[in-house]
């Protein structure tokens, strides 16, 4: 399969997309990576979907990435008499450590870590921010609040603490079980939810090592305070706008999205924009014009990937949602303004040979109208680095590792191909030309650029840049 887009697409699998035929159709429509959401479904469900994705990969002959999304710590209140109560504006409401059934004056809060961390003046948001409580006082067993925005509160509704840094790991016991299961399957990327600090990333990396790429989901205000350190620690970043929009003012989310994307682009880390991108397509075969503009904005900013959640997992029109997103991306990437707008941000150079070659590729591609850049990569690093320069040409990532090929499915502009490594410079040129030809990226009178490391097969040895004219079989 030949891909023509640079911006990648992630689609969440769920009840609406759990057959081989549906998964193959989504890949043909443009999906590069599938997300398995561990907040829903059983391990058996996810194992079955994993197996079907790998069947589709074999059938279609194209690497497919798989992202496992951990649930993270979910904070919830206890239960109420009759299942719900109404809180009046201005009233006093208490959350405590007493497990008895709640009422309009108090409710059980089964999270002891909150009692010691929260301070007077901070806010508690209930049910995705529909109710807002301000803390009047707190001790080890009770939090007394005043209701600022009241309404109905029902059993087990979620709690958000926008101003409180909780002394808890981002990995719950459930997450650890899910992580162990995901690693056993062979998932390519793991997304860590509710990251608060760089140490959360370091904790999960201590468990996973180099088995998978780690994505930091940014959905808490505390993460923004440690933003640069989190980006540096993570392998990729997801702007998870749903919970971020609950814990922060809605008008701040677009600004934060721009800021996060810019920092990721500068540090050379893949960045994903997610949540509610085509939300109306859960129930409608077409998106709103505002949603189309939202996807387009992310593409103009040069993000690596955009993601569908419920639209593809449980919506009525999953294939239509993927098709529409593909069309939006293709339209934006065809706009002559997209490249200059995207190039307003540049990846920082740390002085390495790989960085120098990545920067050179962009200059050569602009001046010589290069049809494609072919990178030979055993770890994926050279393909990552070339991609983060956002050159105006496709990037082919040739790698002897199927795991690396699958991980590269997330990276802007890279068309990963599983291939045996080159044995000589001549073999390298031949394989690169053949790969470009198979992707329809060879044109008379226009060169390819080839990036590799000498000696071949040694990770981190990128030190060779070659310009190749396939039509004349000459190189310079």
Q: Would you call 362 a catalytic residue per the annotation?
A: no
CB 380 within 8 A of CB 354: no
Structure tokens at 87: 């809180």
Distance (Å, whole) CA 386 – CA 451: 9
| Given 7, 17, 275, 433, the catalytic residue | 275
Q: How far is CA 369 from CA 101, 240, 336, 364, 446, in A?
A: 70, 37, 15, 8, 7
| Given 5, 12, 17, 35, the catalytic residue | 35
Q: Would you call 258 a catalytic residue per the annotation?
A: no
Residue with tokens 């410079």: 425
Structure tokens at 279: 């939300």
| Given 28, 54, 76, 146, the catalytic residue | 76
Structure tokens at 160: 């958000």
* DSSP-derived pairing of the beta strands 123-126 and 159-160: antiparallel
Structure tokens at 210: 């180099």
Distance (Å, whole) CA 342 – CA 355: 19
Q: Would you call 371 a catalytic residue per the annotation?
A: no
Which of 206, 15, 27, 222 lies closest to 117 in space, CA to CA?
Answer: 222
Q: How many CB atoms lie within 10 A of CB 207?
A: 14
| Given 5, 49, 197, 217, the catalytic residue | 217
Q: Would you call 217 a catalytic residue per the annotation?
A: yes
Residue 419 three-state SS? coil
Per the document, the length of the chain is 476
Helix residue spans in 195-302 (DSSP H)? 198-208, 221-225, 227-233, 241-247, 252-267, 289-300
Catalytic residues: 35, 76, 217, 275
């Amino acid at each position: 399969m030949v891909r023509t887009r640079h911006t990648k697409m992630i689609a969440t699998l769920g009840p609406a997309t759990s057959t081989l035929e549906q998964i193959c159709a989504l890949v043909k429509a443009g999906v590069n990576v599938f997300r398995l959401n561990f907040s829903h479904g059983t391990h058996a469900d996810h194992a079955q979907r994993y197996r079907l994705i790998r069947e589709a990969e074999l059938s279609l002959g194209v690497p497919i990435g798989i992202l496992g999304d951990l649930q993270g710590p979910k904070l919830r209140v206890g239960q109420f008499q009759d299942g719900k109560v109404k809180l009046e504006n201005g009233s006093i409401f208490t959350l405590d450590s007493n497990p008895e059934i709640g009422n309009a004056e108090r409710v059980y809060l089964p999270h002891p870590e909150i009692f010691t961390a929260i301070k007077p003046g901070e806010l508690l948001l209930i049910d995705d921010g529909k109710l807002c409580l301000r803390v009047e006082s707190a001790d080890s067993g009770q939090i007394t609040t005043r209701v600022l925005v009241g309404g109905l509160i029902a059993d087990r509704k979620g709690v958000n603490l926008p101003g409180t840094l909780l002394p808890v790991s981002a990995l719950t016991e459930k997450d650890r079980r899910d992580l162990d299961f995901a690693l056993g399957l062979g998932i390519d990327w793991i997304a860590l939810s509710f990251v608060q600090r760089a140490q959360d990333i370091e904790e999960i990396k201590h468990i996973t090592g180099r088995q998978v790429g780690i994505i930091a989901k940014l959905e808490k205000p505390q993460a923004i305070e440690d933003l640069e350190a989190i980006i540096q620690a993570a392998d990729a970043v997801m702007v998870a706008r749903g919970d971020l929009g609950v814990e922060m003012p809605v008008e701040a989310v677009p600004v934060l999205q721009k800021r996060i994307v810019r920092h990721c682009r500068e540090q050379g880390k893949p960045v994903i924009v997610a949540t509610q991108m085509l939300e109306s397509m859960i129930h409608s075969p077409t998106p709103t014009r505002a949603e189309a503009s939202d996807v387009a904005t992310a593409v103009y900013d040069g993000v690596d990937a955009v993601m569908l959640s419920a639209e593809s997992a449980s919506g009525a029109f999953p294939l239509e949602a993927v098709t529409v997103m593909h069309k939006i991306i293709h339209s934006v990437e065809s706009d002559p303004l997209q490249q200059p707008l995207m190039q307003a941000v540049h990846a920082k150079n740390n002085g390495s040979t790989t960085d120098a070659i990545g920067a050179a590729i962009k200059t050569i591609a602009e001046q010589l109208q290069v049809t494609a850049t072919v990178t030979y990569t055993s770890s994926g690093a050279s393909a990552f680095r070339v991609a983060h320069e956002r050159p105006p040409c496709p990037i082919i990532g040739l790698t002897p590792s199927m795991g690396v090929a699958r991980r590269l499915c997330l990276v802007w502009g890279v068309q990963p191909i599983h291939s045996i490594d080159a044995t000589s410079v001549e073999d390298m040129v031949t394989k690169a030309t053949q790969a470009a030809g198979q992707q329809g990226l060879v044109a008379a009178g226009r060169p390819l650029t080839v990036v590799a490391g000498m000696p071949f097969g040694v990770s981190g040895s990128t030190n060779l840049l070659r310009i190749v004219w396939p039509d004349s079989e000459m190189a310079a």
